[in-house]
Structure 1
Amino acid sequence: MIPDQIALDELERDALTEIVNIGVSRAASSLRKMVGDQVLLSVPSIEVVNQRRAARLISEREIVDLVAVRQDFSGPFSGRALLIFPETNSLELVRAVTGGELSAEEVVEMEHEALAETGNVILNGCLATMANMLKRSLTMTLPEVLRGTGATLFEIDQNSESEGLVLFLYIDFAVRQRDIRGYIAMLMDIPSLATLKELLDEFILRVVGEDG
Protein backbone atom coordinates (compact mmCIF):
# COMPACT_ATOMS: atom_id res chain seq x y z
CA MET A 1 0.00 0.00 0.00
CA ILE A 2 1.44 3.40 -1.01
CA PRO A 3 1.12 5.96 1.82
CA ASP A 4 -1.19 8.90 1.04
CA GLN A 5 1.54 11.50 1.55
CA ILE A 6 3.43 10.18 -1.49
CA ALA A 7 0.69 8.75 -3.72
CA LEU A 8 0.64 10.84 -6.89
CA ASP A 9 -2.72 12.15 -8.05
CA GLU A 10 -3.57 12.29 -11.76
CA LEU A 11 -2.34 15.86 -12.23
CA GLU A 12 0.98 15.13 -10.48
CA ARG A 13 1.46 11.95 -12.50
CA ASP A 14 0.74 13.82 -15.76
CA ALA A 15 3.18 16.58 -14.78
CA LEU A 16 5.89 14.06 -13.90
CA THR A 17 5.31 12.10 -17.12
CA GLU A 18 5.63 15.32 -19.12
CA ILE A 19 8.83 16.36 -17.29
CA VAL A 20 10.39 12.91 -17.73
CA ASN A 21 9.45 12.82 -21.42
CA ILE A 22 11.22 16.16 -21.93
CA GLY A 23 14.23 14.63 -20.13
CA VAL A 24 14.33 11.50 -22.26
CA SER A 25 13.84 13.48 -25.47
CA ARG A 26 16.92 15.53 -24.51
CA ALA A 27 18.73 12.28 -23.79
CA ALA A 28 17.59 10.97 -27.19
CA SER A 29 19.18 13.93 -28.98
CA SER A 30 22.47 13.25 -27.12
CA LEU A 31 22.24 9.56 -28.06
CA ARG A 32 21.51 10.51 -31.65
CA LYS A 33 24.94 12.16 -31.77
CA MET A 34 26.55 8.96 -30.38
CA VAL A 35 24.63 6.65 -32.71
CA GLY A 36 24.60 8.90 -35.77
CA ASP A 37 21.02 7.88 -36.41
CA GLN A 38 17.48 8.62 -35.32
CA VAL A 39 16.77 7.71 -31.69
CA LEU A 40 13.24 7.82 -30.35
CA LEU A 41 12.59 7.54 -26.63
CA SER A 42 9.32 7.85 -24.81
CA VAL A 43 8.00 7.13 -21.32
CA PRO A 44 4.38 6.06 -21.67
CA SER A 45 3.71 5.38 -18.00
CA ILE A 46 4.94 6.08 -14.49
CA GLU A 47 3.97 4.22 -11.33
CA VAL A 48 5.00 4.41 -7.68
CA VAL A 49 5.34 0.84 -6.38
CA ASN A 50 7.24 -0.99 -3.65
CA GLN A 51 10.49 -2.80 -4.46
CA ARG A 52 8.93 -6.27 -4.64
CA ARG A 53 6.21 -5.06 -7.01
CA ALA A 54 8.84 -3.34 -9.19
CA ALA A 55 10.87 -6.56 -9.38
CA ARG A 56 7.69 -8.50 -10.22
CA LEU A 57 6.67 -6.01 -12.94
CA ILE A 58 9.97 -6.63 -14.71
CA SER A 59 10.07 -10.39 -14.19
CA GLU A 60 6.52 -10.71 -15.59
CA ARG A 61 7.72 -9.08 -18.80
CA GLU A 62 11.30 -10.33 -19.04
CA ILE A 63 12.22 -13.96 -18.58
CA VAL A 64 15.92 -13.38 -19.27
CA ASP A 65 18.55 -11.89 -16.99
CA LEU A 66 18.73 -8.14 -16.75
CA VAL A 67 21.49 -5.60 -17.22
CA ALA A 68 21.27 -2.26 -15.44
CA VAL A 69 23.21 0.96 -15.28
CA ARG A 70 23.06 2.46 -11.79
CA GLN A 71 23.66 6.02 -10.64
CA ASP A 72 22.93 7.42 -7.21
CA PHE A 73 21.57 10.96 -6.96
CA SER A 74 21.31 13.39 -4.07
CA GLY A 75 19.77 16.79 -3.52
CA PRO A 76 16.35 17.89 -2.23
CA PHE A 77 15.26 14.34 -3.07
CA SER A 78 17.76 11.47 -3.13
CA GLY A 79 17.85 7.91 -4.31
CA ARG A 80 19.25 5.47 -6.81
CA ALA A 81 18.43 5.52 -10.52
CA LEU A 82 18.57 2.36 -12.63
CA LEU A 83 18.31 2.05 -16.39
CA ILE A 84 17.36 -1.58 -16.93
CA PHE A 85 17.40 -3.73 -20.08
CA PRO A 86 16.78 -7.40 -20.78
CA GLU A 87 20.25 -8.83 -21.46
CA THR A 88 19.44 -9.61 -25.10
CA ASN A 89 18.49 -5.96 -25.66
CA SER A 90 21.71 -4.67 -24.14
CA LEU A 91 23.81 -6.20 -26.94
CA GLU A 92 21.40 -4.77 -29.52
CA LEU A 93 21.90 -1.37 -27.92
CA VAL A 94 25.69 -1.75 -28.09
CA ARG A 95 25.45 -2.69 -31.77
CA ALA A 96 23.35 0.41 -32.39
CA VAL A 97 25.70 2.69 -30.46
CA THR A 98 28.82 1.28 -32.13
CA GLY A 99 27.36 1.38 -35.62
CA GLY A 100 26.77 -2.33 -35.97
CA GLU A 101 30.18 -2.93 -37.55
CA LEU A 102 31.82 -4.93 -34.77
CA SER A 103 32.24 -8.68 -34.52
CA ALA A 104 30.26 -10.56 -31.86
CA GLU A 105 33.37 -10.77 -29.63
CA GLU A 106 34.05 -7.04 -29.96
CA VAL A 107 30.43 -6.23 -29.13
CA VAL A 108 30.73 -8.19 -25.88
CA GLU A 109 34.02 -6.45 -25.05
CA MET A 110 32.53 -3.02 -25.75
CA GLU A 111 29.29 -3.77 -23.95
CA HIS A 112 30.26 -2.52 -20.50
CA GLU A 113 31.63 0.79 -21.68
CA ALA A 114 28.84 1.45 -24.18
CA LEU A 115 26.14 0.63 -21.61
CA ALA A 116 27.72 2.85 -18.95
CA GLU A 117 27.89 5.72 -21.43
CA THR A 118 24.32 5.19 -22.67
CA GLY A 119 23.02 4.90 -19.11
CA ASN A 120 24.86 8.04 -18.13
CA VAL A 121 23.32 9.99 -21.04
CA ILE A 122 19.76 8.78 -20.38
CA LEU A 123 19.75 8.93 -16.57
CA ASN A 124 21.53 12.28 -16.50
CA GLY A 125 19.20 13.65 -19.16
CA CYS A 126 16.19 12.51 -17.17
CA LEU A 127 17.30 13.60 -13.71
CA ALA A 128 18.95 16.87 -14.73
CA THR A 129 15.79 17.89 -16.60
CA MET A 130 13.60 16.90 -13.66
CA ALA A 131 15.75 18.93 -11.28
CA ASN A 132 15.90 21.89 -13.64
CA MET A 133 12.14 22.01 -14.28
CA LEU A 134 11.48 21.67 -10.55
CA LYS A 135 13.98 24.52 -9.96
CA ARG A 136 16.39 22.39 -7.92
CA SER A 137 19.76 20.75 -8.53
CA LEU A 138 20.91 17.15 -8.10
CA THR A 139 24.36 15.60 -7.82
CA MET A 140 24.95 12.23 -9.51
CA THR A 141 27.58 9.54 -9.05
CA LEU A 142 29.42 7.86 -11.94
CA PRO A 143 27.54 5.02 -13.69
CA GLU A 144 28.02 1.37 -12.69
CA VAL A 145 26.90 -1.61 -14.76
CA LEU A 146 25.10 -4.40 -12.86
CA ARG A 147 23.65 -7.75 -13.87
CA GLY A 148 21.07 -9.95 -12.24
CA THR A 149 17.37 -10.53 -11.67
CA GLY A 150 14.79 -7.93 -10.68
CA ALA A 151 15.14 -9.02 -7.04
CA THR A 152 18.92 -8.51 -7.01
CA LEU A 153 18.77 -5.19 -8.88
CA PHE A 154 16.19 -3.84 -6.46
CA GLU A 155 18.16 -5.27 -3.52
CA ILE A 156 15.15 -6.95 -1.97
CA ASP A 157 15.84 -8.28 1.50
CA GLN A 158 13.45 -11.18 2.06
CA ASN A 159 13.87 -10.85 5.84
CA SER A 160 13.09 -7.15 6.01
CA GLU A 161 9.60 -5.92 6.79
CA SER A 162 10.19 -2.39 5.55
CA GLU A 163 10.60 -1.67 1.86
CA GLY A 164 11.79 1.22 -0.19
CA LEU A 165 9.59 2.61 -2.90
CA VAL A 166 10.29 2.81 -6.59
CA LEU A 167 9.28 5.39 -9.14
CA PHE A 168 8.92 2.98 -12.05
CA LEU A 169 9.02 4.22 -15.64
CA TYR A 170 8.56 2.13 -18.75
CA ILE A 171 10.71 3.40 -21.57
CA ASP A 172 10.36 2.66 -25.28
CA PHE A 173 13.44 2.95 -27.47
CA ALA A 174 13.67 2.87 -31.20
CA VAL A 175 17.28 2.98 -32.39
CA ARG A 176 18.25 2.25 -35.99
CA GLN A 177 14.98 0.44 -36.52
CA ARG A 178 15.90 -1.87 -33.66
CA ASP A 179 13.22 -2.49 -31.09
CA ILE A 180 14.97 -1.93 -27.79
CA ARG A 181 12.86 -1.68 -24.68
CA GLY A 182 13.93 -0.80 -21.21
CA TYR A 183 12.89 0.59 -17.87
CA ILE A 184 13.97 3.41 -15.63
CA ALA A 185 13.53 2.88 -11.92
CA MET A 186 14.26 5.42 -9.22
CA LEU A 187 14.49 3.92 -5.74
CA MET A 188 13.55 6.56 -3.20
CA ASP A 189 12.53 6.65 0.43
CA ILE A 190 9.26 8.15 1.67
CA PRO A 191 10.72 11.59 2.63
CA SER A 192 12.28 11.92 -0.86
CA LEU A 193 9.05 10.95 -2.62
CA ALA A 194 7.10 13.35 -0.36
CA THR A 195 9.52 16.15 -1.37
CA LEU A 196 9.15 15.22 -5.04
CA LYS A 197 5.37 15.39 -4.69
CA GLU A 198 5.62 18.88 -3.12
CA LEU A 199 7.95 20.07 -5.90
CA LEU A 200 5.53 18.71 -8.52
CA ASP A 201 2.71 20.67 -6.88
CA GLU A 202 4.85 23.85 -7.04
CA PHE A 203 5.60 23.12 -10.70
CA ILE A 204 1.89 22.63 -11.48
CA LEU A 205 1.04 25.94 -9.76
CA ARG A 206 3.72 27.74 -11.79
CA VAL A 207 2.48 26.26 -15.06
CA VAL A 208 -1.18 26.97 -14.25
CA GLY A 209 -0.20 30.50 -13.17
CA GLU A 210 1.61 31.10 -16.49
CA ASP A 211 -1.27 29.65 -18.51
CA GLY A 212 -3.82 31.56 -16.52
Structure 2
Amino acid sequence: MTELERDIIREILNIGLARAADSFAVVAQEKVLLEVPSLDLLESEDILMRVREYSTNHAVIQSDIRGDFTGTTLMFFSGQHVQRLSRVCLRMQVPDSVQVNELQESLLLEISNIITGALVTQLANILKARIYGAPPCTFSGDTTALVNHLVPSESLQPLIFSIITQFSDHGNSVELPLMLFFDRATFEKILDIIRGYDFLGKQLAGA
Protein backbone atom coordinates (compact mmCIF):
# COMPACT_ATOMS: atom_id res chain seq x y z
CA MET A 1 0.00 0.00 0.00
CA THR A 2 1.44 3.33 -1.08
CA GLU A 3 1.15 6.54 0.92
CA LEU A 4 -1.28 7.88 -1.71
CA GLU A 5 -3.47 4.81 -1.27
CA ARG A 6 -3.40 5.35 2.50
CA ASP A 7 -4.50 8.95 1.99
CA ILE A 8 -7.34 7.86 -0.30
CA ILE A 9 -8.58 5.32 2.25
CA ARG A 10 -8.43 7.92 5.02
CA GLU A 11 -10.42 10.33 2.84
CA ILE A 12 -13.02 7.67 2.05
CA LEU A 13 -13.37 6.98 5.77
CA ASN A 14 -13.56 10.70 6.53
CA ILE A 15 -16.51 11.08 4.15
CA GLY A 16 -18.33 8.12 5.68
CA LEU A 17 -17.57 9.21 9.24
CA ALA A 18 -18.69 12.78 8.58
CA ARG A 19 -22.17 11.48 7.71
CA ALA A 20 -22.07 9.23 10.78
CA ALA A 21 -21.06 12.19 12.97
CA ASP A 22 -23.95 14.26 11.59
CA SER A 23 -26.38 11.45 12.39
CA PHE A 24 -24.99 11.13 15.92
CA ALA A 25 -25.23 14.87 16.47
CA VAL A 26 -28.97 14.79 15.69
CA VAL A 27 -29.55 12.04 18.26
CA ALA A 28 -27.26 13.48 20.93
CA GLN A 29 -28.38 17.08 20.34
CA GLU A 30 -24.77 18.17 20.67
CA LYS A 31 -21.94 19.13 18.34
CA VAL A 32 -19.75 16.20 17.33
CA LEU A 33 -16.10 16.71 16.44
CA LEU A 34 -14.34 14.12 14.31
CA GLU A 35 -10.65 13.24 14.35
CA VAL A 36 -8.82 12.03 11.25
CA PRO A 37 -8.85 8.21 11.41
CA SER A 38 -5.60 6.36 11.90
CA LEU A 39 -4.81 3.30 9.80
CA ASP A 40 -3.10 0.42 11.59
CA LEU A 41 -2.15 -3.12 10.58
CA LEU A 42 -1.97 -5.08 13.83
CA GLU A 43 -1.23 -8.57 15.02
CA SER A 44 -4.08 -10.41 16.77
CA GLU A 45 -2.43 -9.99 20.20
CA ASP A 46 -2.28 -6.24 19.67
CA ILE A 47 -5.96 -6.29 18.73
CA LEU A 48 -6.80 -8.09 21.97
CA MET A 49 -4.79 -5.59 24.00
CA ARG A 50 -6.46 -2.57 22.39
CA VAL A 51 -9.99 -3.95 22.73
CA ARG A 52 -9.40 -4.98 26.35
CA GLU A 53 -8.04 -1.53 27.14
CA TYR A 54 -11.26 0.13 25.97
CA SER A 55 -13.74 -2.51 27.17
CA THR A 56 -12.65 -2.38 30.80
CA ASN A 57 -14.36 0.98 31.35
CA HIS A 58 -16.81 1.29 28.45
CA ALA A 59 -20.13 -0.22 27.42
CA VAL A 60 -19.33 -1.93 24.11
CA ILE A 61 -21.67 -2.44 21.14
CA GLN A 62 -20.71 -4.67 18.20
CA SER A 63 -22.07 -4.63 14.65
CA ASP A 64 -20.98 -6.74 11.69
CA ILE A 65 -20.58 -5.51 8.11
CA ARG A 66 -21.77 -8.00 5.53
CA GLY A 67 -22.14 -8.35 1.79
CA ASP A 68 -19.25 -7.73 -0.61
CA PHE A 69 -17.05 -6.77 2.36
CA THR A 70 -16.65 -8.54 5.69
CA GLY A 71 -15.97 -6.47 8.77
CA THR A 72 -16.95 -5.57 12.32
CA THR A 73 -17.40 -2.31 14.20
CA LEU A 74 -17.04 -1.86 17.95
CA MET A 75 -18.36 1.29 19.61
CA PHE A 76 -17.20 2.14 23.14
CA PHE A 77 -19.54 4.28 25.27
CA SER A 78 -18.04 5.78 28.44
CA GLY A 79 -20.03 6.34 31.61
CA GLN A 80 -20.26 10.03 30.70
CA HIS A 81 -21.77 9.15 27.34
CA VAL A 82 -24.30 6.84 28.96
CA GLN A 83 -25.20 9.57 31.44
CA ARG A 84 -25.60 12.33 28.85
CA LEU A 85 -27.40 10.23 26.27
CA SER A 86 -29.79 8.91 28.93
CA ARG A 87 -30.56 12.50 29.93
CA VAL A 88 -31.00 13.81 26.37
CA CYS A 89 -32.76 10.86 24.73
CA LEU A 90 -34.55 9.14 27.61
CA ARG A 91 -35.08 12.07 30.00
CA MET A 92 -33.42 9.95 32.68
CA GLN A 93 -31.16 11.34 35.39
CA VAL A 94 -28.60 8.58 35.99
CA PRO A 95 -25.09 8.43 37.49
CA ASP A 96 -21.91 8.28 35.42
CA SER A 97 -21.69 4.50 34.92
CA VAL A 98 -21.33 1.87 32.19
CA GLN A 99 -23.78 -0.38 34.05
CA VAL A 100 -26.89 0.06 31.91
CA ASN A 101 -30.47 -1.09 32.24
CA GLU A 102 -32.54 -2.60 29.44
CA LEU A 103 -33.82 0.77 28.22
CA GLN A 104 -30.33 2.31 28.14
CA GLU A 105 -28.95 -0.75 26.33
CA SER A 106 -31.67 -0.38 23.67
CA LEU A 107 -30.66 3.27 23.25
CA LEU A 108 -26.96 2.40 22.78
CA LEU A 109 -27.88 -0.31 20.28
CA GLU A 110 -30.00 2.15 18.30
CA ILE A 111 -27.26 4.81 18.31
CA SER A 112 -24.70 2.25 17.13
CA ASN A 113 -27.14 1.16 14.42
CA ILE A 114 -27.55 4.77 13.24
CA ILE A 115 -23.81 5.53 13.21
CA THR A 116 -22.72 2.24 11.64
CA GLY A 117 -25.56 2.44 9.11
CA ALA A 118 -24.54 5.95 8.03
CA LEU A 119 -20.89 4.89 7.72
CA VAL A 120 -21.67 1.71 5.76
CA THR A 121 -24.07 3.53 3.41
CA GLN A 122 -21.40 6.08 2.52
CA LEU A 123 -18.74 3.39 2.01
CA ALA A 124 -21.14 1.45 -0.22
CA ASN A 125 -21.84 4.54 -2.32
CA ILE A 126 -18.19 5.53 -2.69
CA LEU A 127 -16.83 2.04 -3.34
CA LYS A 128 -19.85 0.92 -5.40
CA ALA A 129 -20.17 -2.14 -3.19
CA ARG A 130 -23.16 -4.09 -1.90
CA ILE A 131 -22.63 -3.95 1.84
CA TYR A 132 -24.90 -3.49 4.85
CA GLY A 133 -24.68 -3.39 8.61
CA ALA A 134 -26.10 -6.30 10.59
CA PRO A 135 -28.24 -5.52 13.66
CA PRO A 136 -25.92 -4.48 16.52
CA CYS A 137 -25.54 -6.47 19.71
CA THR A 138 -23.94 -5.99 23.10
CA PHE A 139 -20.30 -7.13 23.01
CA SER A 140 -19.83 -10.13 25.28
CA GLY A 141 -16.30 -9.14 26.23
CA ASP A 142 -14.84 -12.37 24.82
CA THR A 143 -11.94 -10.84 22.92
CA THR A 144 -10.59 -14.23 21.89
CA ALA A 145 -13.90 -15.06 20.19
CA LEU A 146 -13.79 -11.65 18.51
CA VAL A 147 -10.36 -12.29 17.02
CA ASN A 148 -11.44 -15.76 15.85
CA HIS A 149 -14.47 -14.09 14.27
CA LEU A 150 -12.28 -11.53 12.50
CA VAL A 151 -9.42 -13.88 11.67
CA PRO A 152 -10.83 -17.30 10.72
CA SER A 153 -7.36 -18.43 9.62
CA GLU A 154 -3.93 -17.74 11.09
CA SER A 155 -2.78 -16.85 7.58
CA LEU A 156 -5.08 -13.80 7.60
CA GLN A 157 -4.21 -10.53 9.24
CA PRO A 158 -6.93 -7.94 9.81
CA LEU A 159 -6.47 -4.28 9.11
CA ILE A 160 -7.89 -2.14 11.88
CA PHE A 161 -9.19 1.33 11.19
CA SER A 162 -8.97 2.97 14.60
CA ILE A 163 -11.36 5.92 14.64
CA ILE A 164 -12.02 8.40 17.45
CA THR A 165 -14.97 10.78 17.46
CA GLN A 166 -15.55 13.41 20.13
CA PHE A 167 -18.93 14.14 21.63
CA SER A 168 -18.72 17.75 22.84
CA ASP A 169 -20.98 19.14 25.53
CA HIS A 170 -20.55 22.82 26.48
CA GLY A 171 -16.83 22.72 25.76
CA ASN A 172 -16.18 19.43 27.54
CA SER A 173 -15.07 16.73 25.12
CA VAL A 174 -15.72 13.05 25.71
CA GLU A 175 -14.10 10.60 23.32
CA LEU A 176 -16.33 8.02 21.68
CA PRO A 177 -13.96 5.38 20.28
CA LEU A 178 -15.12 3.52 17.20
CA MET A 179 -12.98 0.66 15.88
CA LEU A 180 -13.58 -0.63 12.38
CA PHE A 181 -12.12 -4.03 11.50
CA PHE A 182 -11.67 -5.46 8.00
CA ASP A 183 -10.06 -8.81 7.27
CA ARG A 184 -7.22 -9.08 4.78
CA ALA A 185 -9.40 -10.35 1.91
CA THR A 186 -11.77 -7.39 2.27
CA PHE A 187 -8.93 -4.91 2.45
CA GLU A 188 -7.45 -6.34 -0.75
CA LYS A 189 -10.84 -5.84 -2.44
CA ILE A 190 -10.87 -2.21 -1.32
CA LEU A 191 -7.34 -1.70 -2.65
CA ASP A 192 -8.31 -3.28 -6.00
CA ILE A 193 -11.25 -0.87 -6.30
CA ILE A 194 -9.05 2.11 -5.47
CA ARG A 195 -6.35 1.06 -7.93
CA GLY A 196 -8.90 0.57 -10.69
CA TYR A 197 -10.64 3.91 -10.38
CA ASP A 198 -9.70 7.57 -10.19
CA PHE A 199 -11.22 8.29 -6.79
CA LEU A 200 -9.40 11.54 -6.24
CA GLY A 201 -10.44 12.95 -9.59
CA LYS A 202 -14.01 11.68 -9.79
CA GLN A 203 -15.62 9.86 -6.91
CA LEU A 204 -14.39 11.86 -3.92
CA ALA A 205 -15.02 15.16 -5.64
CA GLY A 206 -18.68 14.31 -6.06
CA ALA A 207 -19.26 12.69 -2.66
1:56 aligns to 2:46 (yes or no)? no
Answer whether contact 2:61 2:136 (CA < 8 A) is retained: yes
Percent same amino acid among aligned pairs? 22
Q: In 1, are the aligned partners of 2:120 and 2:132 still within 8 Å (CA)? A: no
**8 Å contact from structure 1 (residues 96, 175) kept in 2:** no
Map of 2:93 onto structure 1:
103
Alpha-carbon distance change, 41 to 206 in structure 1, aligned in 2, over 3 angstroms: closer
Q: Which residue type is aligned with residue 94 of structure 1? A: L
CA shift, 1:128, in A, is: 1.5
Partner of 1:141: 134
More moved, 21-30 vs 48-57: 48-57
Aligned mates of 1:120, 1:35 — CA distance in 2: 14
Superposition map of 1:1-212 within 5 A: 8-59=1-52, 62=54, 64-85=56-77, 87-92=78-83, 94-95=85-86, 97-98=88-89, 101-104=91-94, 108-109=100-101, 110-148=103-141, 151-152=143-144, 154-155=146-147, 162=154, 164-177=157-170, 178-203=172-197, 205-208=198-201
The answer to whether the 8 Å contact 2:87/2:93 transfers is no
Amino acid of the structure 2 residue aligned with 1:117 = E
Count of aligned pairs between the two proteins: 196
Residues in 2 aligned to 1:52 and 1:29: alpha-carbon distance in whole angstroms: 34
- AA at the equivalent of 2:173: D
SS of residue matched to 2:106: helix
Code of the aligned partner of 2:137: E
Q: What residue identity is the alignment partner of 1:200?
A: I
Deviations 1:66-101 (A, max 9, x none): 43222222222212222234x4354245346527x4
CA distance in 2 between counterparts of 1:44 and 1:201 reads 21
Amino acid across the alignment from 2:192: E
- C-alpha displacement at 1:63, in angstroms? 7.9
CA distance in structure 2 between the partners assigned to 1:94 and 1:189 by the alignment: 32
1:196 partner amino acid: I
How far 1:173 moved relative to its partner?
1.2
Are the aligned partners of 1:68 and 1:145 in contact in 2 as well (CA < 8 Å)? yes
Q: Letter of the 2:25 partner, please give it.
A: R
Cα distance change, pair 146–71 in 1 and its aligned pair in 2 (3 A): same
Describe the SS at the equivalent of 1:136. Answer: coil
Between the aligned partners of 1:15 and 1:93, the Cα distance in structure 2 is 35
- The answer for the alignment partner of 1:3 in structure 2 is none
Question: Distance in 2 between the 1:131 and 1:96 partners?
Answer: 33
Give the Å deviation of 1:195: 0.6
Q: Identify unmatched segments of 5+ residues in structure 2.
A: none
Aligned-pair Cα RMSD in Å = 3.1
Question: Measured at CA, do residues 47 and 179 of structure 1 come closer, stay the same or move farther in structure 2, by a change above 3 Å?
Answer: same
TM-score, length basis structure 1: 0.75
